[in-house]
Every structure is written in structure tokens, then in C-alpha cells.
Amino acid sequence: MKHVAVFGYSTMSVAVMTRLRDCHYQQIFIGQDEQQTSLMRAQGFISQVIDFKNDDELKEIGVGTYIDTIFCFFPNDSDNVFLTISARALDSGLTIIAIIDDPESADKLLAAGADKIIDPHEICGRKAHDMLTRSEISTILDNTVFGQHDLNMAEVEIPPASGFENRLVCTLNLSENHNMILLGVVKSELSGELFLAIGEQAYSLAVGDVLVVLGATADIQAFKDEVGRIN
């Protein structure tokens, strides 16, 4: 089982620990005061106050031994940099994920030893852009990656006498009808070469063609059942 320590109280801390709890990770929350730890304990998380600038106290919670990953979610970038330096010195193989408030702090955290940087402002900006320019994909991802469903890629072959034979790709409307994204089509007459869905909207499906789709398991199975029905 993976062991995770989350440092610093925020809405992101709660969200991460809630998701990881569903995945059965062993977690501990490290707060800067009793009020923070009390809030996390009320939600069922193991919580503790330590001085993160003290290496001995970091070791006591498992940094350097059994902790696999830490999240540096302090509101001040300087605290996250200090924690990253200390934790990296204790364990060269530790996975360190840090949040930043100022984009200029990203280089400092990477230099300090962080493996991944989370910039909430960039994420929000990208999300707003996707909602405006790629609303269909954004909606699907909300219901899969950021929702409670699983996410899988699958191949769905067009069988003989299927109602999908001779249908145009542009008429499938997988996002509306099946909550899935069409990634591409493997055309039967081209020896398994994958063509991305973009630019192939006018393509007429043939027996043996394979649709490559992305979606939740139940949605994929329902689509396979529909494709397999004899026309």
C-alpha cells in the first residue's frame, strides 16, 4: 500500500485526500496548527501538527522511510520550497508534488527537488479555454477523469449487418449518445492504420473498421452492444 503525507490545509488538500482515500491509500495530513488538524480529523483523516522545518519530526511521520509521496500544499511558496529541500535530503527516491501561488516559484521548487508542480491559475485558465473552445471534450473529461467514473480506451469493430455499416462518422454523436470521445478510426482496407477522428468526419464506416473510443466501462459496453445488433 502506498503511503502519502499531505502538508498544508486547503480545499485542494481535502480534495486530494478524499480521492486518495477512495483508492485506499494510507494517508496522513500535516497541519500548521490544531485548528487545521481538527478540520481534517472531522472528515476522517489521520492528522498531526509537526514542525516541518525539523528533520527529526519529518522522520517521525515516515519521511525517509515508508512515506512514498508528499504533497506540499502550504499557501506560501517559500514554505513549500523549504519542505521540498528537507524532504529530498531525507529521501532521494521520494515523490514530491508541490503547489505554487507565484509562477516564478516553479523553477525554485524544481531546483529544490520537486517532481511535479501544480499551478492552479494555469489549470483554471486552461479549463476556461477548453470550456469555450472544446466544450464537448471538456464535458466528457469532467464526467470521467474528474468525475466518479473510470476511464478506458477501447476498440469497437463494425461487424457484418450492423446498423453502423455505411454510417458517416459525423453522425455518431458519441458524446451525446454514449458519453464517450471518438479518438479515431482504424480503416479495414488500410492494414490497421489509425486515422484521428479530426478530419475524418465524412468517412463512411465499413465492415471491419475499428472505432477507437475513450469513456467509462459501462458506456463502452453499452455502445458495443448497440454496434453488435443486427440491422
- Band of residue 128 on the pLDDT scale cut at 50, 70, 90: low
- Band of residue 112 on the pLDDT scale cut at 50, 70, 90: very high
Q: What is the pLDDT of residue 209?
A: 87
Q: Which domains, and CATH codes, for the chain?
A: 3-123 (3.40.50.720), 152-228 (3.30.70.1450)
- Note whether 202 and 166 are within 8 A (CB): no
- Band of residue 148 on the pLDDT scale cut at 50, 70, 90: very low
Evaluate if residue 124 carries a pLDDT over 70.
no
Helix (H) or strand (E) holding 183: strand 181-186
What is the rounded (10 degree) CA torsion for 81, 84, 88, 90?
110
- Note whether 6 and 71 are within 8 A (CB): yes
Q: Which of 125, 123, 127, 179 lies closest to 148, judged by CA?
A: 179
Evaluate if residue 67 carries a pLDDT over 70.
yes
According to DSSP, the residues that pair with 47 across neighbouring strands are: 29
The grid coordinates of residue 147 equal: 468525475
Give the rounded distance of the alpha carbon of 102 from its chain centre.
23
Mean pLDDT along residues 168-192: 77
Higher pLDDT residue, 195 or 51?
A: 51
- Band of residue 136 on the pLDDT scale cut at 50, 70, 90: low
Evaluate if residue 91 carries a pLDDT over 90.
yes
Give phi and psi for 56, each to the nearest 5: -65, -35
Evaluate if residue 210 carries a pLDDT over 60.
yes
Tally: H helices and E strands in the chain: 9, 10
Q: What is the pLDDT of residue 34?
A: 94
Q: What is the pLDDT of residue 53?
A: 94
According to DSSP, the residues that pair with 69 across neighbouring strands are: 4, 95
For helices 120-133 and 135-143, the axis angle rounded to 10 degrees is 120
The grid coordinates of residue 200 equal: 475524418
Mean pLDDT along residues 25-47: 94
